Amino acid sequence: MKLDVQVLGKHVATLFRERDDYVLKYNHDATAADFVSLTMPVREEAWRWPRDLHPFFRQNLPEGYLLNLIREQFGPLLDGTDLSLLAVVGAMGIGRVTVTPEGVAPGTELQALDVQDILHGDNSADHFAALVREYARAAISGAVPKFIAPQAEASGASAPTPLGKPTIRTSRHIVKGSDDNTPFLGFNGFYSMRVLERLGVAPVARTQMSDDGRALIVERFDVDAHGLPAYGVEDMCGLLGLPPHEKYNSTSEKMLNAARAYLLDRDSMRQQLEHLGWHLLTNYVVRNADCHTKNVALFYTSVDDVALTPVYDIVTTQAYPRFAANPPGLPIDGRKTWAAGKTLERFFNTRMGIAPRQYAQMVEALCDSAVAVGHELIEAARNEPPWRNVAKQMLHAWDDGMASLRSPKKSLQFKGLKPAIEAAGFSAPEPAEHAREVIGRSPLLGRRN
């Protein structure tokens, strides 16, 4: 099997398997700007990867729920290799690269979707499962139910102008749903991301929550106003050469070093490091244990404008008892603990160039924002009783997160969420389940030492 690889619709390379190697071979007419990945610039010699697909091509392969649906629907087209899976889903995904069977132009026959139907419609588990099944033929990673669908145009809107050769028209949104383990994930994700978003200190992907709180619509940053691919996107998992199932098998230090290698604009380096710093600190405040190497990424139009993407995936995992005992997804200085104390501050000081005073200001800004958003969350749950339990769990998690970042000697002089929790009549949080689960990691896998 051979696959055609396109960049912004232009056929630039061929991907195939040769004995035990997977091979990417650029076409003779490919230019330097036609690179598929930052890790694989255009050259005459083929790029080989032993025994499996190159990490870049694996970064958006479906996982978990979506993968099972694709196997169910497209089983006859799959031969057990990731190459055949990529042949099925590669024509529609994240970033500027598309992959299709040899001789097949990129394109999609999926039914267009009106995002208003998600925002104001039925997002029950059965209905959302049907939507994911309908739009399963897309390359998007992640364990929770999600999909990409072509955007329905408003009546009378003019069609977008194609970019040179045939290009795939994609959606301007990613739609995420809830499941039994993570009820009202849309509600959780919307308010968790708002803790950082409302400060305006770092780029954050725009989101909308459905009326029922079950679905979250995330506006994509890799496409233009017409939903056409505009940016390349590479997550840190692929840049570190890791397969997706090893997304937790790295460190914050390695991730930072990998990002530095491609952030070539020294004038904006400090701004980029502060951006990453705000992202990492927010995870500690809201207790998001699911920040791994696939949830931090770079985007670009060329090698000269590489930058960190807007923050796109923050959720309070501690709000769900099944995941509440999980530590941070990536260790710092060899430790995975929410009580990072001076270790976290030292990482910011020595590795990211963020001075102690600025670090303390960042912590307090996020804590103040968590208190403000906490009051919004309480008001939202008051109007929608089904959200009350998740809201309670989130508030307790945020209060824990704020306390763990502040100095014990000074924490009493700062306001937290306990008064608001008590005033709202919330009970104590539900205890964490003893068997720790990592979101996106199969419980059947053995535990790492």
Is residue 270 domain-shared with residue 419, that is, in the same domain? yes
Q: What is the pLDDT of residue 180?
A: 83
Q: What is the pLDDT of residue 111?
A: 54
Q: What is the pLDDT of residues 74-130, one digit of tens each?
A: 666 666 778 888 887 888 778 999 998 888 777 655 455 566 766 777 767 666 566
Question: Which residue ranges in the chain fall short of pLDDT 50?
Answer: 110, 153-170, 411, 435-437, 442-449
Angle formed at CA 22 by CA 17 and CA 28, multiple of 5 degrees: 85
Q: Does the residue 324 lie in any domain? A: yes
Give the Cα separation of 388 and 373 in Å (integer): 15
Q: Does the residue 256 lie in any domain? A: yes
Is residue 275 domain-shared with residue 350, that is, in the same domain? yes
Q: What is the pLDDT of residue 139?
A: 52
Q: What is the pLDDT of residue 206?
A: 94
Residue 364's CATH number: 1.10.1070
Q: What is the pLDDT of residue 115?
A: 60
How many domains would you assign to the chain?
2
Is residue 274 domain-shared with residue 402, that is, in the same domain? yes
Domain with 58, as residue range(s), is 2-153+167-177
Is residue 147 domain-shared with residue 237, that is, in the same domain? no
Q: What is the pLDDT of residue 445?
A: 42
Q: What is the pLDDT of residue 65?
A: 65
Is residue 171 domain-shared with residue 271, that is, in the same domain? no
Is residue 171 domain-shared with residue 260, that is, in the same domain? no
Q: What is the pLDDT of residue 94?
A: 86
Q: Does the residue 343 lie in any domain? A: yes
Is residue 240 domain-shared with residue 385, that is, in the same domain? yes
Is residue 272 domain-shared with residue 145, that is, in the same domain? no
Q: What is the pLDDT of residues 272-321, one digit of tens each?
A: 999 999 999 999 999 999 999 999 999 999 999 999 999 999 999 999 99
Spatial contact of 388 and 381, defined as CB atoms under 8 Å apart: yes
Is residue 367 domain-shared with residue 283, that is, in the same domain? yes
Is residue 146 domain-shared with residue 239, that is, in the same domain? no
Is residue 69 domain-shared with residue 148, that is, in the same domain? yes
Is residue 138 domain-shared with residue 259, that is, in the same domain? no
Q: Does the residue 206 lie in any domain? A: no
